[in-house]
Amino acid sequence: MAFVTGYENDVFVSYAHLDNLGEPAWVSTLVEKLDTEVRQRLGTKDFKIWFDADINGNQPLTSQLVEAVRRSATLLVVMSPSYLASQWCARERNAFLGFVRDCVTAGRIFIVNCRETDRDGRRTAPEFGDLLGFKFWTEDPEARAVRPLGAPDTKERAYLASILNLSDRLAQTLRGIRANAGQRERENPEGSARGVFVARSTDDLEGREDELRGYLTQAGLGILPEVWYPETTESEFRTAMEADLQRSAAFVQLLGKLPGRKADFAGGRRYAALQNEIARSSGKPMFLWRDVADDPASVADAAHRALLEEARACGFSEFERAVVDAANRKPVISRSPSPHVTVFVNADRNDLTVAKQLAELLAKQGVECFWPLLEGPPEQVRRDLEENLTSCDGLVLIYGTSEASWVRNQLRQGRKILSQRERDLAALAIYLGPPPQKPELAIAMPEIITLDGRVGLSPESLLPFVERLTAC
């Protein structure tokens, strides 16, 4: 268990494989001594160093390793000529910097100079700026050569002194990071400071997901989930995800043409569809993205095709900015509607699913909702429509996949019934649902509210309408 709240690892050790060869293994020995010393300084067993003694520098940077870097509070770099020459190490440090852009100035990088690196003009990696680091090498007068401290004698006085100095600085930094995290939690106990839930993407979008995570972190936003969820039963997975969603300001999902692997613990449903379903029931703002070039009609899997049709097709930078804007938006606190305030959510058959979802979201805010009956004798359907229009306090027309002409006809026909009411509507709105691109309605009416939900349903998108209802 890590000492710093919100991280899986306190320290991630990045090093070159060559620097750990020989007896004793220099990097392994350093990590072992630091682990003991830092635990004693922190006064707890809750301290975790991520270190892979069997790392192979010829392999690609795996998603598991990227995840370990992302979930680490600090980065400890064993600097040497081998490290500077390693492409593997360069990818590690760039991954860390991508997630924590301010880590250099925040003092979250610790450089252990185990060998001299400035003789060839490469004093350190340029990404680390002017960090001097900790000197762990010396000029050996007998050998008349530079060697790492503690090689071969791990009880060397200068080596032990450097260990003490490094462990003390590391412990102080970890305490500071933990204290800042605790302060943010106290200032915002409900987690509204605001984290963003990034759904696990399919393999074809891992690069995009890493890019998004880096952008959100640079914007000062926390990213959830922090750990993988249990995959033994759907109930356990759902409970864990719902807990993180409550701490999040928004749910973000990147969707490619591949539906992704199946969740065997959830009846074989795809992960993308399962995560989307759980997020939708939470009522959080949902941001779904797909590439403009991906045609949903070409996707065979029906459930995944439906997600793509709902997703926002736009430039990725535009999407990233929209997510950050939504996460940083301060929640508006409005007076709850009076008891028995009713809203009629009118929708064509093709948009009935969106109407139900919107009605359920309004119901969570204390509003009674009805949507149209589309089955049964025509006369019964017509009479139900008229009764809803006569008795409701608010009316929402869904403009999603339906034709613009349908919305215009509903406004014209509904006006006759609305004009016969004993009291005026408290609120009238048109809800713009997915897909994002659609013909203009070409209408201008006084007091009508436009609710933009083209990138997904959210309580925030309904606020103007709910606030109007509070006057009931």
Q: Is residue 255 within 8 Å of residue 203, measured between CB atoms?
A: no
In whole angstroms, give the CA distance from residue 121 to residue 129. 15
Run of H or E residues at 276 = helix 271-282
pLDDT of residue 120: 47
Model confidence pLDDT, tens digit, residues 171-184: 999 998 888 765 55
For the domain bounded by 9-187, which CATH number is listed? Answer: 3.40.50.10140
Among 184, 179, 174, 178, CA closest to 220: 184
> In which band, very low, low, confident or very high, does the pLDDT at 338 lie, cut at 50, 70 and 90?
low
Give bridge partners of residue 223 from the DSSP assignment.
196
CATH 3.40.50.2300 given to domain 342-469? yes
Class of domain 195-328: alpha beta
Domain spans, the chain: 9-187, 195-328, 342-469
User: Considering only 23-27, 144-148, 190-194, which range has the smallest mean pLDDT?
Assistant: 190-194
More confident residue, 340 or 139: 139
pLDDT of residue 189: 45
Q: Which residues contact 202 (CB under 8 A, 6 or more apart)?
A: 256, 258, 259, 260, 261, 271, 272
pLDDT of residue 3: 93
More confident residue, 181 or 3: 3
In whole angstroms, give the CA distance from residue 267 to residue 278. 15
Mean pLDDT of 9-34: 92
Q: Which two tokens stand for residue 14?
A: 């990045």
Question: Does the fold of domain 342-469 match that of domain 9-187?
Answer: yes
The pTM of the full predicted model, rounded to 2 decimals, is 0.43
Give bridge partners of residue 222 from the DSSP assignment.
195
